[in-house]
Amino acid sequence: MTLAGTTRPPYAPGLRRIRPLLVTGGAGFIGCNLADRLAREGEHVLVLDSLRRPGVEHNLAWLKRRHPRHVTAVIADVRDPAAQDAVAEAAGVFHMAAQVAVTTSIANPADDLDVNVRGTINLLEAARRCRQAPPFIFASTNKVYGDLAGVALETTEGAVRPIDPAIRRFGIAEDWPLAFHTPYGCSKGAADQYVLDYARTFGVPAVVLRMSCTYGPRQLGTEDQGWVAHFLIRAHQRRPITIYGDGRQVRDVLYVDDAVEAHLQALRQIGRGGRVYNFGGGAGNAVSLLQVVGHIEQLLGRRIEVRFAAWRPGDQRYYVSDTRRISDALRLAAPRSWRDGLRLLAHWLQHASGAAAGPEARAAATGSAP
């Protein structure tokens, strides 16, 4: 499909008098929330998305309806020449597009490598060939640290926690050794390192954000990716939830508005770039899967059927971002609490699934295209 105000490659240079900010993967969950925030602030936004993930076309339609004068889209893959043309026109690049699921990377490692590594290099090459390279913000992942099997843990109150008091207090810092596990971890880790090296070698002003679990409105949560929204969607539908592992694994969950704010501040304060930050909800938002399920039950006022399955390759029993470096460098406010964020997402899902909601809202509320 081609949406109104949407172009297919090649992208026409000079489309805007003001150079846009490019958001690759801008029809995806974080990307569309970022594009919406930029457009609300009066920025011109160029969304580049292949629309390969079912349902994201509805996020793009939502953006176009809200910001017809500020959002333009190119339906293209980050490996395409059109992606390089878009970078050449951009005042800044937010690179969100990726193959995002560990399970998919195991099923098709070659495609995972091609999208995540070659796609990123395609954009970086375009950036370094510009007369003045645009700022480049890359959404990386905590999976670059592997399964963190070296973190000694104890179990308490339905959740694991590190025995080391410093890790328990602050989480995993940026100096933790890299250990790429699973094809997804390898591809995102390689892209992460290429972005940092293009900053060192070619002077591309770049920031790498190693993201933890982000959740919020417009997330098409599935078992493979976006577990917080997936849990709420399943509960909303009165369907069982499958947990891979024992449910005591811990993540620091981050509400999407806080993720968007960090990306904006990274762009505004990038300087020469070449910095890497771990970023998530931090120790104050460290929560186990079982604790999230329990709170959803409180929000909905009913029990949820939970089933358990075997651990999946590369699963981390514990990951919490040490957010001190990014909070200090970018002067970020404390993130929204996970209980408050779950309440907001539950309310949005209830509203989005109503008969009066548009098709794209209903798609996000059910985790699939209508």
What are the phi and psi torsion angles at 277 (to 5°)?
-135, 135
Query: Running DSSP on this structure, what letter comes out for residue 312?
Result: P
Closest CA to 66 of 31, 29, 30, 40: 40
**Total length of the chain:** 370
Element (H, E) at 47: strand 45-49
Tokens 């843990």 — which residue? 153
End-to-end CA distance of the chain, in Å? 15
Q: How far is CA 154 from CA 59, 112, 212, 248, in A?
A: 41, 34, 21, 10
- Between CA 128 and CA 123 the distance in angstroms is 9
Q: Among residues 184, 255, 318, 319, which one is catalytic?
A: 184
> Which phi and psi (to 5°) does residue 330 adopt?
-105, 0
Going from the C-alpha of 326 to that of each of 174, 262, 279, 321, 336, the distances in angstroms are: 10, 8, 7, 10, 16
Round the CA-based radius of gyration of the chain to a whole number and report it: 20
* CA 22 – CA 29 distance, rounded (Å): 15
Active-site residue 215, yes or no?
no
Distance (Å, whole) CA 268 – CA 271 = 8
Q: Element (H or E) spanning 16, and its range? A: none
Token pair listed for 357 = 């909601």
* Those residues with Cβ within 8 angstroms of residue 42's Cβ, 6 or more apart along the chain or in another chain: 70
User: So which residues are the catalytic ones?
Assistant: 184
